[in-house]
Amino acid sequence: YAEAMESPIQRHLDDLLQDVSRITDGRPYSVHPPGRDPDPDAFGICLATVDGHVYTAGAAADTEFSIHSISKPFSYALALADHGLDAVDEKVDLEPSGDPFNEISLSPDSGRPANAMINAGALAVVAMLKGGGGKSAPRRIVDFYSRLAGRRLSVDQSVYDVEIRNSDRNHALAYLLSSFGIIDDDPTRALKNYLRQCSMQVTCRDLAVMAATLSTGGTNPVTGEDVIDIESVERVLSVMMTSGMYDDAGSWASSVGMPAKSGVGGGTLAVLPGQAGLAVYSPPLDRHGSSVRGVETCRRLSRDMEMHFVRAA
Ligand code: GLN
């Protein structure tokens, strides 16, 4: 621990946190249980390396928040493992949409969503996740994410309750997907399971370990457990690279250059394949629904530590 405190990486993260703390732009996501307004000053950064070192900075590095859209790549990985790439591709395409997260981005003839990172694609993916081995689908999702994080995670029921009450657009998307046959069973089941997975509580540390599990090619670097196969990891990271940051994907690819995913809960996750996973928590969001400080932290770290794919090579 003392060694970690003195390491150049630790010092760098501490300094960066201080610097980026000065940014006060953006507004937190407005949907949350009564009395649970997100703290706009909460800030945490976590870097997990492929050899299992975990560095954290900020008082909120171990604060729990809702994973929201950062769940999408992980449920995509589970669907790929369950059904194989081809079967999943029949339901969800892998093209960048460059659209906002809740865009109705379906192919006009087939109804296939553009990719698994936007809500339409995520709903189609969740619909493919069925129960099995004596476990319900939601249970399988929680168990899978827990193995990725190396810690028992759980869904916050009160977050889920407010999400479901504010789900008209996702509801509409689920029914539209059903009308095209992309969702082949009850669309409200997919909607509920999607919102349950969005309501999963994670910390910055959890997300960094989940990201690092993608960096290693599927082995959790802290627990040593093999969680995802390499084909699925490759696919997930590719789609994150082109579509993880929605309509900000091009600017992100240029200024950060890492596959990444943001969530309206204030989390940002980025992956440096073969090296490290990075996560930031800060609730105020930009117009794309990504954390303002999260994006800035990733930009600066990418530059300072040469994490952009062009430099990291
Ligand atoms: N639960 C949110 C939704 O589906 C997640 C969106 C997000 O994080 N971008 O609308």
pLDDT digits (tens, 9 = 90+) for 10-59: 999 999 999 999 999 999 999 999 999 999 999 999 999 999 999 999 99
Candidates 145, 16, 158; CA nearest to 70 is 145
Among protein residues, the one with the nearest Cα to ligand 1's atom 2 is: 68
Strand order in the sheet with 44-49: 54-57, 44-49, 276-281, 267-272, 260-262
Among protein residues, the one with the nearest Cα to ligand 1's atom 10 is: 102
Q: Is the confidence at residue 193, as pLDDT, over 80? A: yes
Per mean pLDDT, which range of 62-66, 105-109, 114-118 is the poorest?
105-109
Same domain as 86, residue 8: no
Per-residue CA distances from 40 to 260, 262, 270 (Å): 22, 17, 21
For residue 92, give the CATH number of its domain.
3.40.710.10
Per mean pLDDT, which range of 92-106, 173-187, 209-223 is the poorest?
92-106
Domains held by the chain: number: 2
What is the CA(264)–ligand 1 centre distance, in A? 6
Q: Is the CB of 101 under 6 A from ligand 1?
A: yes
Structural domain of residue 177, as residue ranges?
71-198
Per mean pLDDT, which range of 106-110, 175-179, 182-186, 262-266 is the poorest?
106-110
Q: Is the CB of 295 under 6 A from ligand 1?
A: no
Binding residues: 69, 119, 163, 170, 194, 246, 264
Q: Is the confidence at residue 305, as pLDDT, over 70? A: yes
Same domain as 191, residue 207: no
What's the average model confidence in pLDDT over 236-241?
97
Residue 247 pLDDT grade (very low, low, confident, very high; cuts 50, 70, 90): confident
Question: What is the rounded radius of gyration, in angstroms, for the C-alpha atoms of the chain?
Answer: 18
**pLDDT: is 311 or 14 the higher one?**
14
Phi first, then psi, for residue 29 (nearest 5°) are -55, 140
What's the average model confidence in pLDDT over 201-207?
98
Q: Is the CB of 102 under 6 A from ligand 1?
A: yes
Binding residues for substrate: 69, 119, 163, 170, 194, 246, 264
Among protein residues, the one with the nearest Cα to ligand 1's atom 4 is: 119
**ipTM, 2 dp:** 0.90
Question: Under a CB-based contact definition with an 8 Å cutoff, are residues 257 and 308 in contact?
Answer: yes
User: Which pTM does this prediction carry?
Assistant: 0.95
Same domain as 55, residue 9: yes
Q: Is the CB of 266 under 6 A from ligand 1?
A: no
Q: Is the confidence at residue 127, as pLDDT, over 90? A: yes
Q: Which of 198, 230, 259 is the last residue of a domain?
A: 198
